[in-house]
């Protein structure tokens, strides 16, 4: 059986990442800019130079579609110089350059949204002097940049932790606000699942010895800076596949446009290079080609806004395709702190006797459960809360994981409280007896999803069980509804717990999960994940302990808690800075939103291209082939007007869709077929209709310009 550490440090709310808090007075925070989108003047001013720097062909070639537009812009500019008086050629060239710049601006804005975060994180990277512990027990002061993996460093109150590591000695209160934005300090201690510390955080009290686990320049903060700036973002498999598709379509349209001049010559018409380039740019999928990178960057940025650090874009995409979700019971599905709810007497004992014995046996139990028993006896049964110092001569038995009992020996009377099996064994060892209804009551509590603790006493009348304490682990509000949403999304939920199968089943039914794994060991978790993956499913899970590391590494999406061990954080491909296990549900929604946004804008872009055929081709060849005039349903003024209107619309639609690509298409938990129908209706039909309206409006505006109308 695996005992999981409570996620008591994880806040149910999502505090903003620290960089948002430290914005200088008079400046807009990243949150403000997120709301303002592309049209925030400050954001535009900061991103515009980057948009021009990205015109470097070595950068542009990474996006085949926009590279073709760049080459086309250069060609039209060159041909315009050969005919300086051709106002139409210069206008087409200008709008083609704007198309490229708008595409680069979309990516620059997406990258720029992480700069405020990165700048503040850099401030957290102070050049600290570390107190390195030598083998003989003495200390030497060295720059933090000289620390090596395996070095032991001493940190006391007021010291900045010089590098990432694990606490190997001591316990201390640590300020992690520079990383999480959460002002409340956290406890870091040796052993257990709360031993990891991050370089740049500050020790507030006590003394700890930390073992360094990362090299300088590869710390958690360094990785955060690279990721929020987009410097370490690599294209995902889906993004690469879509790029290949867009490149293939571009080649097809390039060949198609190359065949048009002979047709035009045969019909007694002539198509200039400027017209051919403009036609090509309007027909290739420039909209999605321009926004593709921004969509991926924005997806990771949305995770950062929720204090989740994704180690790669691949992990964000995988979250969108997850079909099996593994959730820890304690702290995720339930509140985590089991509380005493009632005292149930057995075989002639009274509630008052059980309450009195339960309180006395819990005075030495410092667990949350033990404290709740003392409080319940005081509040519900009127027993004054007593303290160990008041009972002279008493011998206190502290709770341990081995005995699973606590108690007290007072005036010749022994009182014990603990797990049913341990207390029954203790009573029988002393020749006592256990009332039949004790086990019946305990079983009833377990079946109801609670945890039974038995209270026993040994006095002049012998050893016997007095009653049962009912501990309840309350399912969080709204969990059943959340799981129902996940079910509609086609995601299977599995609860993992160290509880016995009876208790696990009751909690699973109350919460509404699809399945559960009781008395789970690390091996059990690994086997479950492999079994699901063998069926072709993608699996996501959360974890915080070293014993979770193998399963986190095996899962397709492994979310490690920031409060957890270094092993867990290294094994996972995401880190939740708030250490809130329920965040996994939000991560999946963000991943799905990323995939939906990319699919929706791809649908819109391709539909745009189809509509532009009807705008350009009929107007271009109507004079040569009068039959095509029937397809000129927009009634565009002239061939030149049709081409210029399409080029202008092609550039403006990119800038219009940037806010949507950054914010993401709204996600709704519906089935895949309903989602497909919605995307085809909204973005497919919208992509067909928008060019007809937009190009016609632009045509009406420019039809009065001499030489074009």
| Residues of each annotated binding site for Mg(2+) | 544, 548
β-strands 324-328, 539-543 pairing: parallel
Pull the structure tokens for residue 2: 């695996």
The answer to whether 515 is a known catalytic residue is no
| Strand pairing report for 129-133 and 152-156 | antiparallel
Question: HEC string of 328-351?
Answer: ECECCCECCCCEEEEEEECCCCCH
C-beta of residue 639 within 8 angstroms of C-beta of residue 271: no
C-alpha closest to that of 104 among 322, 335, 292, 296? 292
Q: Are 455 and 467 contacting, i.e. CB atoms less than 8 angstroms apart?
A: yes
CB 468, CB 455: distance < 8 Å: yes
Structure tokens at 337: 């702190």
> Coil, strand or helix: which one is 441?
helix
CA 306, CA 562: separation in Å to the nearest integer? Answer: 13
SS3 of 272, please? coil
Classify 656 as helix, strand or coil: helix
Binding-site annotation: residue ranges: 365, 369, 399-406, 417, 544, 548
**Structure token pair of residue 243:** 């790029």
d(CA 463, CA 452): 19
For 270, residues 6+ apart whose C-beta sits below 8 A from its C-beta are 264
For 135, residues 6+ apart whose C-beta sits below 8 A from its C-beta are: none
Tokens of 542: 């959360």
Q: How many CB atoms lie within 10 A of CB 700?
A: 14
Residues forming the annotated binding site for ATP?
A: 365, 369, 399-406, 417
Across 283-437, the runs of DSSP E, i.e. the strands, are: 308-310, 324-328, 339-345, 395-397, 405-410, 413-419
Q: For residue 587, which of 615, 556, 565, 612 has the smallest C-alpha distance?
A: 556
Place of tokens 């979310």: 559
**Residue 707 CB-density burial (10 A; 0-12 exposed, 13-18 middle, 19+ buried):** exposed
Residue 187 to residue 481: CA distance in whole angstroms: 33
> Residue 299 phi/psi, 5° resolution?
-60, -45
Residue 266: burial class (beta carbons within 10 Å; 0-12, 13-18, 19+): exposed
* Residues 120, 115: Cα–Cα separation, whole Å: 9
CA distances to 331, 342, 471 from 452, in Å: 19, 10, 6
Q: Which residue matches tokens 């682990």?
A: 473
- Identify whether the C-beta of residue 568 lies closer than 8 Å to the C-beta of residue 549: yes
Four-point Cα dihedral 441, 443, 447, 449, nearest 10: 70
Instruction: Say which residues have a Cβ less than 8 Å from residue 519's Cβ, sequence separation at least 6.
Output: 1, 2, 497, 498, 499, 500, 501, 504
Selecting among 164, 328, 499, 578, the annotated active-site residue is 328
Report yes or no: 172 and 207 within 8 Å, Cβ to Cβ.
yes
Contact 680, 609 (CB under 8 A): no
Sequence-distant (≥ 6) Cβ neighbours of residue 412 within 8 angstroms: 459, 460
CA separation, residue 521 to residues 263, 338, 550, 572 (Å): 72, 21, 11, 18
| Active-site residue set | 328
């Amino acid at each position: 059986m695996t005992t999981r550490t409570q996620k008591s440090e994880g806040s149910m709310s999502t505090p903003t990442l620290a960089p948002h808090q430290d914005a200088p007075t008079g400046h807009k925070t990243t949150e403000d800019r997120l709301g303002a989108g592309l049209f925030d003047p400050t954001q535009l001013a900061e991103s515009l130079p980057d948009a021009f720097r990205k015109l470097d062909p070595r950068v542009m070639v990474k996006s085949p579609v926009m590279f073709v537009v760049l080459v086309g812009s250069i060609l039209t500019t060159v041909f315009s110089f050969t005919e300086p008086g051709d106002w139409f050629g210069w206008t087409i060239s200008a709008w083609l350059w704007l198309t490229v710049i708008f595409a680069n601006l979309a990516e620059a804005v997406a990258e720029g949204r992480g700069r405020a975060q990165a700048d503040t994180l850099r401030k957290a990277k102070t050049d600290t002097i570390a107190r390195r512990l030598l083998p003989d027990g003495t200390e030497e002061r060295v720059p933090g940049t000289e620390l090596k993996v395996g070095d032991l460093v001493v940190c006391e109150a007021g010291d900045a932790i010089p590098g990432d590591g694990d606490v190997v000695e001591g316990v201390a209160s640590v300020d992690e606000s520079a990383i999480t934005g959460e002002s409340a300090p956290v406890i870091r201690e040796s052993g257990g699942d709360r031993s990891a510390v991050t370089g740049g955080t500050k020790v507030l009290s006590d003394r700890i010895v930390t073992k360094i686990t990362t090299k300088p320049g590869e710390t958690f903060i360094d990785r955060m800076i690279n990721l929020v700036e987009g410097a370490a973002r690599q294209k995902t498999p889906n993004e690469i596949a879509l790029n290949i598709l867009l490149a293939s379509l571009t080649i097809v349209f390039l060949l198609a446009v190359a065949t048009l001049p002979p047709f035009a010559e045969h019909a007694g018409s002539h198509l200039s290079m400027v017209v051919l380039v403009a036609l090509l740019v309007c027909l290739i999928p420039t909209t999605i080609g321009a926004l593709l990178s921004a969509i991926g960057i924005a997806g990771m940025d949305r995770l950062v806004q929720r204090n989740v650090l994704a180690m790669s874009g691949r992990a964000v995409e995988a979250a969108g395709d997850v079909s099996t979700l593994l959730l820890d019971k304690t702290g995720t599905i339930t509140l985590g702190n089991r509380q005493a709810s009632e005292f149930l007497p057995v075989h002639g004992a009274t509630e008052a006797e059980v309450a009195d014995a339960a309180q006395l046996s819990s005075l030495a139990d410092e667990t949350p459960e033990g404290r709740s028993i003392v409080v319940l006896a005081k509040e519900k049964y009127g027993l004054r809360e007593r303290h160990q110092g008041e009972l002279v001569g008493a011998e206190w038995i502290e709770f341990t994981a081995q005995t699973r009992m606590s108690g007290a020996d007072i005036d010749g009377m022994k009182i014990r409280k603990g797990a049913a099996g341990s207390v029954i064994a203790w009573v029988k060892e002393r020749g006592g007896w256990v009332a039949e209804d004790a086990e019946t009551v305990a079983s009833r509590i377990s079946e109801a999803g609670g945890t039974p603790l038995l209270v026993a006493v040994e006095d002049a009348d012998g050893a016997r069980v007095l009653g049962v304490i009912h501990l309840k682990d309350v399912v969080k509000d709204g969990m059943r509804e959340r799981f129902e949403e996940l079910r509609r999304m086609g995601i299977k939920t599995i609860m993992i717990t160290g509880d016995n199968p009876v208790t696990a089943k009751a909690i699973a039914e109350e919460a509404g999960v699809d399945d559960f794994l009781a008395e789970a060991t690390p091996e059990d978790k690994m086997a479950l994940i492999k079994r699901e993956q063998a069926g072709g499913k993608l699996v996501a899970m959360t974890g915080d302990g070293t014993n979770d590391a193998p399963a986190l590494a095996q899962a397709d999406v492994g979310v490690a808690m920031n409060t957890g061990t270094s092993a867990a954080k290294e094994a996972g491909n995401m880190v939740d800075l708030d250490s809130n296990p329920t965040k996994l549900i939000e991560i999946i929604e963000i991943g799905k939103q990323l995939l939906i946004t990319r699919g929706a804008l791809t649908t819109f872009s391709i539909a745009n291209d189809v509509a532009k055929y009807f705008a350009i081709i009929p107007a271009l060849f109507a004079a040569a082939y009068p039959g095509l005039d029937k397809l000129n349903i927009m009634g565009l003024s002239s061939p030149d007007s049709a081409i210029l209107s399409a080029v202008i619309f092609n550039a403006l639609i990119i800038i219009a869709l940037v806010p949507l690509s950054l914010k993401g298409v709204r996600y709704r938990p519906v089935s895949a077929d309903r989602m497909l129908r919605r995307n085809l209706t909204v973005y497919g039909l919208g992509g067909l209709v928008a060019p007809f309206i937009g190009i016609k409006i632009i045509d009406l505006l420019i039809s009065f310009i001499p030489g074009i109308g």
